[in-house]
Copies of this chain bind each other. A is one copy, B any other.
Amino acid sequence: MNVHTRAEVLLEALPYIKRFAGQVVVVKYGGNALAGSSDDQALGLFAQDLVLMRAVGMHPVVVHGGGPQISDLMKRLGKETEFRNGLRVTDAETVDIARMVLIGQVNPQLVAAINTHGPIAVGVSGEDAGLIKATPRDPELGFVGDVSAINPTILRGLIDDDFIPVVATIGTHDAGQAYNINADTVAGAIAEALGAEKLVYLTDIEGLRRQVDDPASLIHQTTPDELDQLVVDGVIAGGMIPKVESCVRAVRHGVRRAHILDGRIPHVLLLELFTDEGVGTMVRSPRELIQEGP
């Protein structure tokens, strides 16, 4: 590559570096986002993006789930899963398995991948320092919880010390009992509690569509109101609902922008952060559309 091209790229990134300096960006990282490349390689690219974000002054916070890995260990342990109304019943043994996988397997994998660049990532569980308080969703489902409160003290401390927190989404009920919580929801709640600049979902889809079957209907920019309608209309369904609802809620509670990106594109985070080109779907408030332009 021509040496002058490099200067050009660096200078193109300059306004974004300045705009995002000191800002918190919460990134939800899901296992499914990595399709199309070997896991390890995708993880390495993702780690590079985080390290660069931090190097230019941003504060990335990673939130991850681990559904496939939980299913895998349950299978190896010969543990059957019971479903009720399409939702997995989480008994005491299941939540222990989920905890073991999320905190003891997926989380350290992410931490280790980032830390090949230096001692900068720290794994955090929702049980640490009361980060995630859970409330039971439905007695029949067992230890499946909703977020009742976020105590961001531990995250702020790590951010102030320039660490990259990596959050496993196990929450605690009052009596100290662990609950498994939807990672998409946690990511939104943490973005809100930290007053994040951005909330980013890395998924395995190109972005949201206005018509399910029409790739040309990809939504580049949208608002909370439009998304509410798309959910009501059934256009957005299934696993996208917690993501979309979290985006809507976060943008309405002070997060400046929420994004649904295609995690299969290498370095999609950098592309979103350092270019004007539309990647995936961006959610922002209608008020901002008027005031600031793109």
A residues neighboring B (CB under 8 Å): 1, 3-14, 17-18, 21, 48-49, 51-52, 55-57, 76-77, 96, 99-105, 107-108, 111-113, 115-116, 118-125, 127-131, 151, 153-154, 157-158, 161, 163, 170, 172, 175-178, 266-267, 270-271, 274-275, 277
Contact = CB atoms under 8 A, between A and B. Distances in A.
A118 B103 contact: no
- A interface: dominant SS: helix
A146 to B, nearest CB: 19
Contact of A277 (B3, B18, B111): B3
Contacts of A111: 125, 127-128
Question: Copies of this chain, how many?
Answer: 6
B99 A115 contact: no
A100 B96 CA distance: 11
Contact of A176 (B52, B115, B158): B115
Nearest to A158: B157
B176 A4 contact: no
Given A13-B10, A18-B55, A122 B116 contact: no
